[in-house]
Amino acid sequence: MAQPQQIVTRIAPSPTGIMHIGTARTALFNWLYARARGGQFLLRIEDTDRARSTPEATQAILDGMRWLGLDWDGEAVSQFARVPRHAEVAHEMLARGHAYKCFATQDEIEAFREAARAAGRSTLYHSPWRDAPDDTHPDGAPYAIRLKAPRDGETVINDAVQGNVTFRNDQLDDMVMLRSDGTPTYMLAVVVDDFDMGVTHVIRGDDHLNNAARQAQIYRAMGWVEPVWAHIPLIHGPDGKKLSKRHGATGVMEYAEMGVPAAAMRNYLTRLGWSHGDDELFSDAQALAWFDLGGIGRAPARLDLKKLESVAGWHIAQMDDTALMAEITGFLALTGQPALSQAQHDLLAHAMYCLKDRAKSLPEILEKGQFALAARPILPDAAAATHLDAVSRGILRELTAQLQNASWDRDTLETTLTQGAEAHGLKFGKLAGPLRAALAGRSVTPSVFDMMLVIGREETLARLTEAANRDG
């Protein structure tokens, strides 16, 4: 019995700018589909547009893929490096009679279209060289190689997302595959590369659906087995219009710089246009178990940054502390901030239990955790300083003495501080402000008891003493 064919998917971005979140989602869908089925996920850089392709943009793609955690098999393939192979296939199609030499100049083609527009006819170009005998070809003249596309009937794309999509062949022209300068067109290069790379499933944006009809004709002319086509609706803004900068960040690394954890971004992008029942929050393992092409909707997905915040908060709360610290380390490096010292790293990790439950981003964790990162002297901000009047400083001096020999556990600390407040006719809430100012230099912090437990007895007493002795 024949073994089932291994599934091979790919992502093939053009290195002409940032890695768009639409590209990131397409990459993620391909990655999920392949990885869940024991297949291969490949990366191809479509860099044949030499004028617009840049090394920086290529690096941006690699950075985006790595940050998202989308590993690919083998080396990234450069489409430009395969130009000779593309030309080889074009000439093979010429030899088979599925393509022809077109000697028409750009001026002649434009004149044809101008005349068609003036007469109200279709501007679809029909080359006079399609059926011209070889002996009529001008000697030494440059020529393009065009596909000899079928003129009658239909080209049907059986799409795993869109269903059967039919294109009338009389609405498709004999597209150029190899330009007169010997360079391939995108249409040819994509097909040849996908075939040579063994791609079994082409999962991409539905802005390529029209391209599929043309590319299918190349597959069929060459006698190659077509891949499974799956064209995904694009991502729109909250207003239902094409996603743009006015809707928020459009580059995947912008979200990394905002401090969205990669796991949260994977969850959010997976759910953006795909569903598994009513599940909104899920792990990578669940996504891999559930993802299939049948779950992709046909309507454009809408970016919802509030929902992304919620997803990020859930993942931060669920995340293992070691993994979360690794995310924070990467975030600081990405945003050009100083790395944590070993002592800061250890203290922040120790504090994570009281930092991550309500945080919706990595910067929020760092902000809440400043008490663990700060070094003496702890300088209170304007809001916190208002709590350190002469009376409060006097109470802090008393509490420091009482804490000297107290057991350093939550119950004992809570009892000691509550009793200290009551001795002055205060509820603990009135004492919390001065304690927050002393321990963190801020008025909004984790609980006083959590901060004391994290930084320990020696540092707590030192900070309280410092605040108590500060001149008002």
Beta carbons of 12 and 246 less than 8 angstroms apart: no
Other beta carbons within 10 angstroms of residue 186's beta carbon come to 15
Rounded-to-integer distance, Cα 340 and Cα 343, Å: 8
Other beta carbons within 10 angstroms of residue 397's beta carbon come to 14
> CA angle, corner 464, sides to 458 and 469, nearest 5?
125
Beta carbons of 356 and 366 less than 8 angstroms apart: no
Rounded-to-integer distance, Cα 242 and Cα 301, Å: 10
Place of tokens 């007493």: 461
Rounded-to-integer distance, Cα 66 and Cα 60, Å: 10
pLDDT score for 52: 86
What count of Cα atoms within 13 Å lies in the side-chain half-sphere of residue 410? 6
Rounded-to-integer distance, Cα 313 and Cα 49, Å: 41
pLDDT score for 250: 84
pLDDT score for 242: 82
pLDDT score for 65: 97
Beta carbons of 159 and 231 less than 8 angstroms apart: yes
**Sign of the alpha-carbon dihedral angle for 257, 258, 259, 265:** negative
* Residues found in the chain: 472
Tokens read off for 467: 């605040």
Active-site annotation holder among 245, 356, 368, 427: 245
Rounded-to-integer distance, Cα 453 and Cα 371, Å: 12
Pairing of strands 301-302, 40-45: unpaired
pLDDT score for 327: 96
Rounded-to-integer distance, Cα 167 and Cα 170, Å: 9
Three-class SS of the chain: CCCCCCCEEEECCCCCCCCEHHHHHHHHHHHHHHHHCCCEEEEEECCCCCCCCCHHHHHHHHHHHHHHCCCCCCCCEECHHHHHHHHHHHHHHHHHCCEEEECCCHHHHHHHHHHHHHHCCCCCCCCCCCCCCHHHCCCCCCCEEEECCCCCCEEEEEECCCEEEEEEHHHCCCCEEECCCCCECHHHHHHHHHHHCCCCEEEEEHHHHHHHHHHHHHHHHHCCCCCEEEEECCEECCCCCECCHHHCCCEHHHHHHCCCCHHHHHHHHHHCCECCCCCCCCCHHHHHHHCCHHHECCCCEECCHHHHHHHHHHHHHHCCHHHHHHHHHHHHHHCCCCCCCHHHHHHHHHHHHHCCCCCCCHHHHHHHCHHHHCCCCCCCCHHHHCCCCHHHHHHHHHHHHHHCCCCCCHHHHHHHHHHHHHCCCCCHHHHHHHHHHHHHCCCCCCCHHHHHHHHHHHHHHHHHHHHHCCCC
Beta carbons of 252 and 20 less than 8 angstroms apart: yes
Rounded-to-integer distance, Cα 336 and Cα 357, Å: 26
Rounded-to-integer distance, Cα 59 and Cα 320, Å: 29
Nearest to 353 by CA among 312, 328, 317: 317
Rounded-to-integer distance, Cα 180 and Cα 202, Å: 29
Strand order in the sheet with 144-147: 99-102, 144-147, 176-178
Mark whether 245 is an active-site residue.
yes
Place of tokens 């869940």: 36
pLDDT in tens, the chain (472 residues): 555 789 999 999 999 888 999 999 999 999 999 999 999 999 999 998 888 889 999 999 999 999 999 999 999 999 999 999 999 999 999 999 999 999 999 999 999 999 999 999 988 999 999 999 999 999 999 999 999 999 999 999 999 999 999 999 999 999 999 999 999 999 999 999 999 999 999 999 999 999 999 999 999 999 999 999 999 999 998 888 887 777 667 899 999 999 999 999 999 999 999 999 999 999 999 999 999 999 999 999 999 999 999 999 999 999 999 999 999 999 999 999 999 999 999 999 999 999 999 999 999 999 999 999 999 999 999 999 999 999 999 999 999 999 999 999 999 999 999 999 999 999 988 999 999 999 999 999 999 999 999 999 999 999 999 999 987 5
Pairing of strands 144-147, 99-102: antiparallel
Other beta carbons within 10 angstroms of residue 91's beta carbon come to 14
